[in-house]
A and B are shown apart, each in its own frame.
Chain A
Amino acid sequence: MTARIGVVTFPGSLDDGDAARAVRIAGAEPVRLWHGEPELHGVDAVVLPGGFSYGDYLRCGAIARFAPVMEKVVDAAGAGMPVLGICNGFQILCEAHLLPGALTRNQHLHFRNRDQILRIEATGTAWTNAFQPGQEVLIPVKNGEGCYVADPATLDALEAEGRVVARYVGGNPNGSQRDIAAITNQAGNVVGIMPHPEHAVEALTGPSLDGIGFFTSVLKHLVGAPA
């Protein structure tokens, strides 16, 4: 049976279509989820896509966190469902306290879009098990508020527990502490990533095909996971 992966659309979500396409290319069935509906429609995993949910008013992700669908996402994540937050989705996961820390304004104060090399540091997560430890991948980064910050104790804990999933290599595009591009929760089922793997899934439109690995990882994870 094909895995069904939900992609949430908030008002202001922009990369929801791209995330759905990536899910499809990886071989799963994308299921569109609506922010206002507290319902996951029986999906096996959820992607919170990039964009400017609710206009990024107040603070990025701060309002989306209260969307009816997020109650279900938080519950499901607690029960082990794989959840991937990309860019704005990462911000929402932090605001929802599914992940520690926060994403703040890029230190150079500009929006920046470039093709970025990442090093995958943790391959035990639901979203990165298709990679080799230390593997370098090329993924577009594009954000205005992607600077990851946390207090030193949290950062140390993330490092010690192997929860830094990916780091920027060859230049940090936004000033993130310790070059952090992606992190995971303790269980490894929730991953937040600032760059956009869904934009690196086709040779025609992306800088590489490296993004597919994130989506095939979750399929592998779901096959191995107890029903």
Chain B
Amino acid sequence: MTTHPDPVREDPEAVPAQSQAAAVPSAAPARHAAVAEATDWADGTDTVPRAASTPEELQPYAELGLRDDEYDRIRQILGRRPTQSELAMYSIMWSEHCSYKSSKVHLRQFGEKAPPSDRLLAGIGENAGVVRISDELAVTFKVESHNHPSFVEPYQGAATGVGGIVRDILAMGARPVAVMDPLRFGAADHPDTARVLPGVVAGVGGYGNCLGLPNIGGEVVFDPCYQGNPLVNALCLGVLPVERLQKKDATGPGNVVVLMGAKTGRDGIGGVSVLASATFTEGSEKRRPSVQVGDPFMEKLLIEACLELYDAELVVGIQDLGGAGLTCALTETAASAGTGMRVWLERVPLREPSMEPHEILASESQERMLLVVAPEKLEAVLKTAEKWGVWATAIGEVTAPEPDGAPGRLRITWRDHLVVDVPPGSLVDDGPVYARPMREPADLILLQADRAETLPRPNDPDTLRETVLRMIASPNLCDKTWVTEQYDRYVLGNTVLAQPEDSGVIRIDERTGLGVALSVDGNGRYARLDPYQGAKLALAEAYRNVAVTGATPIAVTDCLNFGSPEDPGVMWQFAEAVRGLADGCAELGIPVTGGNVSFYNQTGAAAIHPTPVVGVLGVLDNVADRVASGFVPRPGGDHDQIFLLGETHVELSGSEWAWVTHQHLGGVPPQVDLAREKQLAGLLADAARVGHLSSAHDLSDGGLAQSLVESCLRHGVGARIAVPERFEGTSMPFVFLFSESAGRVLVSVPRGHEKAFTALCGEHGVPWELIGVTDPTGGALEVHGQFRIGLDELREAHTGTLPALFGGVQPFEVTAPAEVEDVVDVPTTDLDADSPTDSAVEPTGFAVESTGLAPTDEPATDDEQAVDGEQAESAPETTEQTPDRSAGRAVPPVRTERVESAETADPAPPVSSAGVEAPQQGDTEQPDER
């Protein structure tokens, strides 16, 4: 596509500032004269004079989501009834989504309780928070929701969610460099999830991939509470030289207002008021026209054009157009500068010429930015836009404040008719603010009394073994490759860590190695049981996920997903979560720099679990020091020691185990000790810097068992674990493996570093315990006295779930059964780890062409192959301890053979041989029943 700006024509009637404007032929605006005269309804336009003369005319304010008292307020502000265009503008700017009218009174805490920070260059209220990470460089990051559109139209909803947050980051003067996507869906096996999830994932990927932004992490969570209200949150990270920070202020009367990017169409009209600020009911699918449609190619061009404008210092102010479109951009830029604005609306390039002024003002067409440009720089701006093939059109000019010193007015004409004449601040700052009624949900006491600690637990090795396999295959704990391999994680060449690591790590400065780590986390079940603690737990987890990479956490962003604020129970949950997050940030000493509130996530009377999603950003002075989550292969049978940091209590309420095994949600969530999290982060940063850690992995959902399995499977390195003495007997080994106590990290320490590392733990006051060793040649995870599970069996359980549910990933011409994929996942390290005997096996393992499954052009055969692959994948495991599955299969993956030979050669020495028969411990306390 070759796009060109609208031809720039000379307009003899216009003042110099508009001389470059792309004028509509029919309109030769005589600047002020026509305004007062047009009083009729002749061309269907409701003008300001007409509104003044027809005060009794009935207006559909209720349909637009405004309450009686809000409508009265508008009339009071204007001294007349609003025009159709003005009504549209107030209805969207005063919607919950734009005005934060229900949340404002609570969100103030983020500012009030925020710890002082000399890093913060821009904070709450800006498009995104900006944090300095060196003398020259800053980063900006924010997470936002696009929940409602994604339920109505999954692909476009998710795609434009990514597009919207990317423009927020761009508007700060930053180059977007990475995205993340915390996603929540209904039950994994629900038919509608099969509609929503693939569309959302394809939309996130489709937009982000085409934009050239690596996707470095996120979440995929399933819970029935999200069935009618999936949560699609998107985070973007940007980087900028400190001096390139941009402002949105439309300063300088006489400056030109330029609309740059895509043409304006009818898509997304009413997105924020109709979709995002109302509860879903029957017939919500009819709201599809309220969802925007994205064009990532246009956005890519817009990014490059904007960055070039910034570097040439051609813009005075800039604002992205997102929710509430032009209305929001015009009013916010004018209001923040205290100036006024004069806009010729017919100059806006339209996709559909029949659009009416209120539609143009409300349209949420994507990929648009509003620029404020000094008149003498307009030509250079238009030229840059032309170079990148994006439209740029002068649509108005900045006007002076009122003679009496009051802020300027926003006056918008449509073909010479004055259709809007408002004080911009009245839309932005003077919206309604509600202290809505709050009440603790009546069922909470009963819910909290119903503790998961009283549920029957596995208390013998066989059940425990079966539980491990069942848990790692459960939808929330299973491998998410089916999702994440639809995202480009390599583009830009600075991705140091990406999913499934605990944090994404991006190199920011190629010269010095300076980089950042980012993680987003949330747990709706914990927050349902206790929103205050739940918010803190989400913060603690994201903070810990950043810390395990060795990074120092410095800033927070949040996306607060809740039900209807008109429900006092939901409002109470919201208030508690905000209080928890604000308190937590104060305790950790890191500020909330920006975020987003998403209310009305409910269908009918059923609200989602309160779901605060928290993003934490940390700094790594040198990304080469980062620590990853997988146990590392060691040549020559050497192994690392595995330590568990932190304390394990009997904390099962709200756990993944309680849900998967008993469909149980009750009790109180795990305790959170932020002082301990801080100590832990300090320890991990120090230990990473001096090279004490070969791996570090956060413990959260699914507890120690989950982290062990993930660390083993990352590079195919087994482990031998000893259950500490105080966790011996009956169900205590289960508690050791599945409790979800916070503040814990699993680390592996290379030989020779143990003493120094444990001394460092002591210095930082972090309890530690030696629980085992890695076992690079054993090919299994063994918990001494309990069970031994081959890595193949673990992998098969862990990776099979999503493909089985959502399918469709095996190409028809694939030349090997599905299992071979697993081998491909981790080849580098495997090749590194090859012992001499292994290397002899390798060529046959990869020589898949020789199996008779060679590619063919005949569809029938292809289909059979696909079916074969699936069956092989979902075939129940019949042998356990010594997997010998090759007999029943045409092509045994090489890993299987290798494992088997290793097992035969080295029949899994008991843990004692590694010298850890008596688990040592730091100042770990006895586990307590809570």
Contacts and interface: CB of A to CB of B under 8 A. Distances in A.
A177 B509 CA distance: 41
Interface string B719-744: 00000000000000000000000000
Given A55-B297, A111-B205, A112-B485, A15 B491 contact: yes
A210 to B, nearest CB: 9
A50 B214 CA distance: 14
A130 B81 CA distance: 77
Contact of B485 (A56, A113, A170): A113
Contact of A55 (B210, B487, B813): B210
Contacts of B495: 205
Contacts of A179: 815, 849, 855
Nearest to A19: B493
Contact of B813 (A21, A54, A172): A172
Contacts of B812: 107-108, 175
B814 interface: yes
Given A18-B492, A55-B210, A136-B846, A11 B825 contact: no
B811 interface: yes
A117 B824 contact: yes
B701 to A, nearest CB: 25
Given A111-B206, A204-B624, A176 B1 contact: no
A175 B297 contact: no
A26 interface: no
B301 interface: yes
A178 B856 CA distance: 8
B178 to A, nearest CB: 13
B574 to A, nearest CB: 36
A140 interface: yes
Given A52-B210, A204-B623, A172 B491 contact: no
30 contacts: A11-B388, A12-B210, A14-B300, A15-B212, A52-B296, A63-B1, A63-B2, A108-B808, A111-B206, A111-B488, A113-B488, A114-B485, A114-B824, A115-B827, A117-B827, A136-B846, A170-B820, A170-B823, A171-B815, A171-B821, A171-B824, A172-B813, A172-B815, A172-B855, A174-B811, A176-B813, A196-B490, A204-B507, A207-B827, A207-B828
Contact of A178 (B491, B810, B855): B855
A111 B155 CA distance: 14
In the complex, the 10 A-B pairs of residues with the closest C-beta atoms, listed nearest first: A55-B297, A14-B212, A175-B811, A107-B811, A18-B493, A199-B490, A175-B813, A170-B824, A57-B1, A52-B210
B256 interface: no
B416 interface: no
Given A15-B491, A17-B493, A172-B815, A108 B810 contact: yes
A184 B763 CA distance: 61
Contact of B846 (A21, A113, A169, A199): A169
Contacts of B491: 14-15, 18, 50, 142
A159 to B, nearest CB: 12
B371 to A, nearest CB: 20
Nearest to B301: A11
Nearest to B209: A111
B202 interface: yes
Nearest to B626: A204
B426 interface: no
A124 B777 CA distance: 39
Contacts of B831: 138
Interface in B460-505: 484-496
B816 interface: yes
A156 to B, nearest CB: 12
B49 interface: no
Given A117-B846, A207-B828, A202 B493 contact: yes
Contacts of A147: 811
Contacts of B487: 111, 113
Interface residues of B, number: 55
Contacts of B295: 55
Contact of B209 (A11, A115, A144, A202): A144
B389 interface: yes
A17 B492 contact: yes
B809 interface: yes
B880 interface: no
Given A55-B1, A111-B206, A144-B209, 18 more contacts: A11-B297, A18-B493, A52-B296, A54-B297, A55-B210, A113-B488, A113-B490, A115-B824, A117-B846, A136-B846, A138-B827, A142-B209, A171-B848, A173-B811, A179-B849, A204-B623, A205-B494, A207-B827
Interface in A1-22: 11-12, 14-15, 17-18, 21
Most central of A14, A117, A173, A207 by chain B CB within 10 Å: A14
A50 B485 CA distance: 17
B899 to A, nearest CB: 17
Nearest to B624: A204
Given A12-B297, A205-B495, A106 B811 contact: yes
Nearest to A136: B846
B188 to A, nearest CB: 18
B857 interface: yes
B239 to A, nearest CB: 13
A7 to B, nearest CB: 13
B749 to A, nearest CB: 22
Interface in A128-171: 136, 138, 140, 142, 144, 147, 152, 169-171
